[in-house]
Amino acid sequence: MQPDRIPTKTGAMFLGMKAEVLAMSKRGDGTHRVLKVDYKGEPVVVKCYGLKGSRMQALSRQFGSRLLLGKSTYTARGRQHTERAVLELWLREGFDVPRVLDLPMLGQAGQPCLAMEWVPGPLMSKLIRSADEPLARKQELVACFAATAGRRHARAIELCEPGLVFKHPTFSHIIVSDSRLVHFDFEQALTHKSGIERYIRHEIAGFLHALPRSDRTLFLDLFSAFSQSYPDRQRLDKVIAELQRFGTVPLAPWLEPFQGFFFFFKRYKKMAGLARAFAALPPARMQAEVFFRP
C-alpha cells in the first residue's frame, strides 16, 4: 500500500480528514511529515514516519548509531514504535508530553503513523530569544525546566531507564502551553543502560547549547538560572568541566581521545569559551545575576 497523498496546504485532506502540514522532511522519500488534522471537530497531531535520507544513509545509521552510540532503531516502523513507547513511559512517570491517541483509520495510511494530543502554545526556543519577552520570564522558564529535568534524571537513574533521557535536547522541542512545558519528538532514544549518567550529561550540554549563545550576557543569565535550579550540583559541575574541554559531552567514552576534532566545529569552540566564562563567575555574583539583575 502506498502512503496517503501528502497535504500541501491548509484545507487539504488526509484519510478523509482536513489536514495541515506542520513539518515535512526535505530529505529521503518525502513521506516523513507531521500533520495537524481535524478529527471529529478536534485538532489532533498525526506524525507519519518515512525515509529521512538515502537508503544507504539509513542503513549506516541503523547499524553504526545503534552499535557505536547506543541509539534506537532508525527504520520508519522502529521510530514510530520508539516514539510511542517513550511517550507512554514519560506519561507514566508524570513528565509532560503529548498524550498518545488511537485513530483507527491510521492503519490505512500506507506507512507507520502516530496520533497525539494537539498542544497549543509557542516553542520555548522562541520565547527565550524574543526581544519582547522580559528577562525574568526567560529565567523563570529555564529555571522551571532545569528543576523538572533534574527530577526526571533522578528517576532515570533510579529505574535504570535511558528512555527518560531526552535524545533531542533543544528548546525547539518544548511547547510552552500555559503552565506546561511539553516535550515532543521522541522518534529516537538512547538505549545503553550502562551509559545513562553520560546520556544525562549529554542532554544537559545539549540544552545549554540551545540557549541563545549570540548574546553573551543573556546566555550567562540563563545559564545561571539553569545552574541555580538544577538539583544535582556535582553532575552540573562535571558537565561544565566537559564543556570547557570538548564544547559538548561526548556521547560515548571512545570519542574522548578525539578532543581536537570537536573544535573544528565553531559551535563547540564557542561553547567551551562560554563555559569557561560561566565557571569563572563567583557563586555570590552568579546568584545575584539570576535573582537580582535589574
> Residue 18 is part of a domain; what is its CATH number?
3.30.200.20
Read off the pLDDT of residues 177-188 as tens digits, 9 standing for 90 and up.
999 999 999 998
- Determine the pLDDT at residue 265: 83
- Per residue, the 3-state secondary structure of 72-83, as one string, reads CCCCHHHHHHHH
Average pLDDT score over residue span 195-205:
96
Q: Are residues 172 and 281 in the same domain?
A: yes
Cell 502540514 identifies what position? 21
Q: Specify if 2 maps to a domain.
A: no
pLDDT exceeds 70 at position 1? no
Domain-located, residue 65 = yes
The predicted model gives 27-32 an average pLDDT of: 78
Q: Are 172 and 185 within 8 A, CB to CB?
A: no
147 and 278 housed in the same domain? yes
Same domain, 140 and 195: yes
Average pLDDT over residues 77-90: 94
Range of the domain at 58: 12-117
The answer to whether residue 5 is domain-embedded is: no
Instruction: Find out whether 15 and 109 touch, Cβ atoms under 8 Å.
Output: yes
What is the pLDDT at residue 159? 98
Contacts of 150 (CB under 8 A, 6+ apart): 229, 230, 231, 232
Higher pLDDT, 51 or 170: 170
Overall domain count for the chain: 2
What sign does the dihedral 61-67-69-75 (CA atoms) show? positive
The pLDDT of residue 27: 75
pLDDT, one tens digit per residue, over 204-227 is 999 999 999 888 899 989 999 999
Least confident of 20-29, 121-130, 152-161, 176-185: 20-29
pTM for the whole structure: 0.86
- Residues 183 and 238 reside in one and the same domain: yes
Is pLDDT above 80 for 68? no
4 or 100, greater pLDDT: 100
Mean pLDDT confidence for 19-46: 89
**Do 237 and 278 have their domain in common?**
yes
State how far Cα 225 lies from the chain centre.
19
Instruction: Answer whether residue 178 is part of any domain.
Output: yes
d(CA 273, CA 163): 31
| Distance in angstroms between the alpha carbons of the first and the last residue of the chain | 61
- Residue of higher predicted confidence among 68 and 103: 103
**Of 98, 117, 136, which residue constitutes the final position of a domain?**
117
Considering the domain architecture, whether residues 279 and 162 belong to the same structural domain is answered as yes
Instruction: Tell whether 21 and 86 lie within a shared domain.
Output: yes
Segment 67-78 mean pLDDT: 69
